[in-house]
Structure 1
Amino acid sequence: MSTKAKLNDAAIRAEARRWFLAMQNGPSRRQRAACETWRQAHPAHEEAWRAIESVWLDTAAPGQKLAEKEADVLSGYLAAMDNNRARKVTRRRAGSAVALSMMLLLLAGLWLQNPSWMQNFAADQVAAKGERREVALADGSTVLLDADSAFSVDLTADLRRVQLLRGGAYFDVVPSKTPFVVETPAGSVRVLGTQFDVRLQEGGGVVTLARGSVAVSSEGQPQPTLIKPGQQVAFSPQGVAAPASVNVQDAMAWHGGRYIFYRARLGDVMREVERYRPGRVLIPSSALADQRVTGSFSLADTDKALDSLQASVGFRLRKVTDYLVIVTQ
């Protein structure tokens, strides 16, 4: 196979991964139609889609197979205890209930320890919890990936495209006539050469510009919003907010392991804490999650970060397991 053919195959697989991931995240009617059009455009597209789907199903199968195996063992054991028909039925039902409970526990364990395994499967680059990674792209650009973050990349002669799947990243883009686009579920950032942060938050994201210029757009606001160095802009599927001046050093303090925030949602702050500790930190109350907080803490010690937030906000921390902390009022 020629080098050109291999590159074409790799591009199709990357596109298939992006479509497959998009279809798992509550796609709109327009997105579903666009995906179907892409799949039908060429046999290679459908083949790549089915390959991605097959691997995903194989990845999801081990926990289910283990539960099924345990169900068989339990059913056999209970049947051997008594040959009475009525009791066998009762015990088989009990065995099924136990097996179901075991499967739910397996799935819960997977969710607590690695809730983003599906995104990791679709990504080209992943930073684990507590890890910041610098990634060099083929065009010479670099990406500093925050902890528990992931992206996929597709560089062609016509377009340099990065899809930020979750988390945050700092981009140092090499100037080129080829546009560089960072896509997210909530909007996109288009540049030629610059340095900027993109961070996903609940329902949207934030772009902070250190150097150069960028254009931020979303499905709800296709007309791009230009921002200048020292400015930050929030975006969502509904639109792009007005740019605001910020302290860039504070906004990008996470590069050196510190998180500084001003009137941020408590839910978003907790998500940053969660990136640097195992398991999940959950806030069941939307009112509490929407509460605004200001402060800073070292990302190296999340226990102290939680204590500091608790002292300033006054919430309760309940440590259910090593992998689950629940925050309540």
Structure 2
Amino acid sequence: MNTRDTSPAPLSDDLQRQARVWLRLLDSGDVTEVDAQAFRRWLDASADHKLAFNEVKHRWATLRTASGMYVERHPNAMPAPAAVPATPRPALRQRSAGRRAFIGGALTVGAAAAVAGFYPDVLRRVMPDSLGADERTAVGEQRTLTLASQTVVTLNTQTSIRQGIQNGRTVSVTLLSGEAAVDLGGSAEPFTVSAGVGSARAQDGRFEVRYLDGKACVTCIDGTVQVSHPAGKRSLQAHQQVAYNDHVLSDVGNVNALAVAAWRRGELVFDQIRLVDVVAEINRYRSGRVVLVNEAARNQRVTGRFRIASLDAALAQLESTFDLNARSLPGGLLILS
């Protein structure tokens, strides 16, 4: 009697590699709404995609348990981690850092980096700051808002704001995440942009505020801008900039204001910027995700001017300049190795 083998066909090595890349990316602690949407598209592509994802998660959970038992039985087998100064950041970021440290010590570079059951948590924590936003832009989108007769605010890619209204007029905005440029025509009342624990206030001229990952940067293009922070106050003149986070306010520094505002002209301008930071900036404007896994190239410096509308050409140029290998995966994922 003939019997039919009903066991499922083995998953391809390529599909499992894709699953490992997604797991590593999602567990990095630097996940955007676009990343989550791209991952869902990849995951929903077929039943095999879901199976590959779950199998890799299961293997990692098993390895993690075994590694923990080994360390308990052999406490001197692994060196103690180097002391790291305490950083008063949110608990989520600290947990992510702990996972990365464990993964670095227990797995090879190409191994999966995910804890069992983290996938729903990743999607829950995507873009929490956009809640309550009045206006937001999508990836690659820019939008200009005329909030008063002489107040124009331009929102860059992936930007969320909430408006402050008094007597029917918008007198301020809270920048929840992203980048906003303010053009003032000398109105009777000053205009304020709040970001994190600080704020920037001006009555005329032009200035920009960038707020990402808990770090803010205020640049005065024209006129004068007053920056207030729990750590102090700063007065900015044209072509000056100040940065801050929840605890520290920097001194005033001089900058190339035209380069800072290049995004409004459809360009990204870099001057001796690390390649890993250039890739992160490109990810803000490009659908999908670019992941740089070439450790030797991360700190290479980039100087150049790239068109936002032609970022694939920019990536090809970076690939050639730094002798990288590019591999495209479903969901808009591009791996540079």
Which bin holds the TM-score, normalised by the shorter protein?
0.5 to 0.7
1:226 is matched with 235
Shift of 1:296: 1.7
Within a 5 Å distance, the mapping from 1:169-318 to structure 2 comes to 169-185=180-196, 187-219=198-230, 221=231, 223-283=232-292, 292-318=301-327
Query: Is 1:153 the counterpart of 2:163 in the alignment?
Result: yes
Q: Describe the superposition over 1:3-61 as per-residue Cα deviations: whole angstroms up to 9, x where unpaired.
A: xxxxxxxxxxxxxxxxxxxxxxxxxxxxxxxxxxxxxxxxxxxxxxxxxxxxxxxxxxx
- Higher RCO (C-alpha 8 Å, min separation 6): 2
SS of residue in 2 equivalent to 1:129: coil
Alignment of 1:81-96 (within 5 A): none
Equivalent of 1:134, from 138, 144, 148?
A: 144
The answer on whether the counterparts of 1:144 and 1:169 sit within 8 Å (CA) in structure 2 is: yes
CA distance in 1, matches of 2:196, 2:298: 21
Residue 4 (structure 1) aligns with:
none
The question of whether the paired residues in 2 share the 8 Å contact of 1:186 and 1:203 is answered with no
Structure 2: any 5+ residue segments left out of the alignment?
1-39, 45-116
Aligned to 2:17: none
After TM superposition, the score normalised by the length of structure 1 is 0.57
**Could you tell me whether the CA contact under 8 Å between 1:276 and 1:299 is conserved in 2?**
yes
1:186-235 CA distances to partner (integer Å, 9 max, x unpaired)?
6321222231111234441322211111122334x2x1111110122222
Residue-by-residue CA offset, 1:211-269 (whole Å, 9 max, x unaligned): 111122334x2x11111101222222232222222222222111111111223344443
Give me the identity figure in percent.
32
RMSD: 3.6
Structure whose residues are more often helix by fraction: 1
> Measured at CA, do residues 120 and 203 of structure 1 come closer, stay the same or move farther in structure 2, by a change above 3 Å?
closer
2:178 is the alignment partner of 1:167: yes
| TM-aligned CA distance change 1:227 to 1:284, over 3 Å | farther
CA distance in 1, matches of 2:188, 2:306: 40
The equivalent position to 2:153 in structure 1, one of 121, 143, 148, is 143
1:262–1:241: structure 2 CA closer, same or farther, 3 Å change rule?
Answer: farther
Q: Deviations over 1:56-102 (max 9, x none)?
A: xxxxxxx9xxx9xxxxxxxxxxxxxxxxxxxxxxxxxxxxxxxxxxx
Q: SS at the partner of 2:139?
A: coil
Q: Give structure 1 stretches of 5+ with no counterpart.
A: 1-62, 68-102
Which residue of 1 is the match for residue 134 of structure 2? 124
